[in-house]
Homo-oligomer: A and B are copies of this chain.
């Protein structure tokens, strides 16, 4: 067995097969997770290091993936900022005091995440201790735009009207908010690395609602600052969805690995971000509702588009959906290992 092939792939070193992990690999699609969630709320789970570490490690054992990702939520960092975070049953996150003005931005608290979110770093330490040495642990954070969109909209959104309204109509407040989030996220990600995370993924999940011109004006400078502040030497995965028109700009912003969704061919995406960078992706999560024959066909297509080039990490294009059949997830991981292993043997 290879050691830490996930980290090798981040560095674009050859591996015997293509590493695979899956966004939201610990989640509601798993019976074990649902059983645990019957006893504790989502926020309690996030804030109890033993439990967060447990679900992190269990997912790896169950699936046979090549990396773990710490169980947490991208909105944990907004609670200590004072906006009032709640996870309402079935309705997703609710922010009770949304940020809509420069005054609201100024009121946000900015404390050291090591003091406000110690449970995350303790979960990282415990998960790292519980994992086999050849399985790297990925830390993560939401990226500034995506976190800001929840803070401004007050929860999930379809059109991001309030977010863009603030961005367009009060560029000063926007800049202050981005700068504050960049500082907090930098400290938060670096503290996860210090606690044992061997890679970090930045989730800019909703960035794809922006035009390339708006990304360049309102996002790119802040993302550059963020990447520059992350502990050097640790691979960073830069991920978003709906980003087919933004990939070059995201690559310009930074990241060791670019995470892409299924809305673009992997070979096109890789050509556009440049072969001097690793890529992660990009199976449509809904494919996991198909037969295993169809899943195999699509896995093969994606691996073919990677052309056996070192630096491909297999993943979905977004998180596993709650209703996904767990047996298909397990089968997917096996398929990626088998098909890519055969292919690389032939090369």
Contact = CB atoms under 8 A, between A and B. Distances in A.
Interface of A: 159-161, 164-165, 168-169, 208-214, 242, 244-246, 262-265, 268, 282, 284-287, 289-291, 294, 298, 301, 321, 323
A164 B289 contact: yes
A294 B169 contact: yes
A273 to B, nearest CB: 13
Given A169-B291, A290-B169, A298 B213 contact: yes
Contacts of A287: 164, 168
Contacts of A286: 159-161, 164-165
A73 to B, nearest CB: 19
A212 B164 CA distance: 29
Contact of A245 (B164, B264, B323): B264
A208 B261 CA distance: 11
A264 B214 CA distance: 11
A113 to B, nearest CB: 31
Contact of A168 (B246, B289, B301): B289
A213 to B, nearest CB: 5
A323 B242 CA distance: 24
Nearest to A164: B286
